[in-house]
Amino acid sequence: MHDNGQVGLLQQLKDGKRDGLDTHWYSNGQKKAEGNFKDGKVVSAVVWKPNGEKCPVTYVEDGAGVVVNYNENGTEDFRVTIKDSEIDLESLDLESLIKGFKKDSE
């Protein structure tokens, strides 16, 4: 839930793991992302920018691809590579990710 009362995340779980559709929203109510999961692993994903424009870079099908995450102001927060239905940790720019977490907690 966002501070303004808008729903931020709706996910389906089975036996404590993501299974089905995950939907994320920005605080302005605009859809942020949808991901399909099976047994806790990502199968496909689509991302939108806060203005409603579909992300031209994000593409995940059959558990492989790239996901871009955007800040509420529309700037790119980070991007990750998905391999074998899991985040490829080597693709993470940890410095950028840490800066993003610090901004979110301020």
pLDDT digits (tens, 9 = 90+) for 35-93: 999 999 999 999 999 999 999 999 999 999 999 999 999 999 889 999 999 888 777 66
Rounded CA-CA distance 7/14 in Å is 21
Burial category of 43 from C-beta neighbours within 10 Å (exposed 0-12, middle 13-18, buried 19 and up): middle
Predicted TM-score (pTM) of this structure: 0.80
Cβ distance 22 to 29 under 8 Å?
Answer: no
CB 70 within 8 A of CB 24: no
Cα dihedral: 40, 43, 46, 50 (round 10): 10
pLDDT digit string (tens) for 6-17? 889 999 999 999
